[in-house]
Amino acid sequence: MLEQPMNEKLLAMRLHGMVEGLKTQEQDSASRELSFLDRLAMLVDQQWSWRENQALARRMKSAKLRVDACVEDIDYRVARGLEKSVVRGLTKESAWVRNHENIFVLGPTGVGKSFIACALAQKACRDGHSAYYTRAAALFRDLAMARADGSFRNLLARLSRIDVLVVDDWAMAPLSEPERRDFWEICEDRYQVRSLILTSQLPVTRWHEQIGDPTVADGILDRIVHNAHRIELRGDSMRKPRGDKPER
């Protein structure tokens, strides 16, 4: 029979979706009654879906999101100032990413900032964009290590190619001179070409003093604030009644 050699050739060409589609069609008597073009169209659709799913899986693996979050699971029942219309507007085809805009998720500890940030990044991945999650302390540690071993420029180049960079716990402590210089370089690389999601317990009005150097602070904030959407949360920690479950 020609079926086995054909499947081997399809697999060699990485047309796994078509192989799966052929198996499905062979098991479905209704499919065998369709015309050749209709069956071919179904195989092409299945191959396309397979490729899209594989690409999404790669983007999600590379994103290293802190929590398994999606916008459909965001909890709007808790009174924390989160408006569904705002989130829906941002997640509609992730237009904010295409427009190279930023998002700030602000509020006290435990109100779900990280979950919302990861959910927005996950939606961006589903819409075809790349993303990467890191905590601010880890980001600055990685940058310091890269500077020490000579890979600093390579790391900056990799970060500059990511469509959505999520920096969690931003401005928790005053920045050192190397930290504010490195973050300025990240902001400069991303200005009007990539997007940021920053979560912070501090309001934006406090960021200038946390950055420290007035000139560098002006440069950083000028590049990230004017084109940013702000999600400002309030209320008590959501972790208390939920035990070990992530706040949403």
- pLDDT, tens only, 6-61: 888 888 888 888 888 888 887 887 877 788 888 888 888 888 888 888 888 999 99
Residue 183 has pLDDT above 60, yes or no: yes
Q: What is the mean pLDDT of the chain?
A: 90
| Residue 78 CB neighbour total at 10 angstroms | 16
| CATH assignment of 65-242, among 3.40.50.800, 3.40.50.300, 3.65.10.10, 3.40.50.970 | 3.40.50.300
Pick 113 or 37 by higher pLDDT: 113
Mean pLDDT calculated for residue range 59-77: 92
Q: Could you tell me the sign of the dihedral formed by the alpha carbons of 212, 214, 215, 217, in that order?
A: positive
| % of the chain surpassing 70 pLDDT | 96
In degrees and rounded to multiples of 5, residue 104 shows phi and psi of: -110, 125
Q: Residue 239 burial by CB count (10 A; 0-12/13-18/19+): exposed, middle or buried? A: middle
Its pTM stands at: 0.82
- Tell me which residue of 235, 115, 104, 118 sits closest to 171, measured CA to CA: 104
The residue ranges of every structural domain in the chain are: 3-62, 65-242
Residues belonging to the chain: 248
What pLDDT digit, counting tens, does each position of 121-133 carry? 999 999 999 999 9
Alpha helices in the chain (DSSP H): 3-12, 16-27, 29-32, 36-63, 84-91, 95-98, 113-126, 136-149, 152-160, 177-190, 207-211, 214-224, 239-242
Contact between 142 and 155 under an 8 Å Cβ cutoff? The reply is: yes
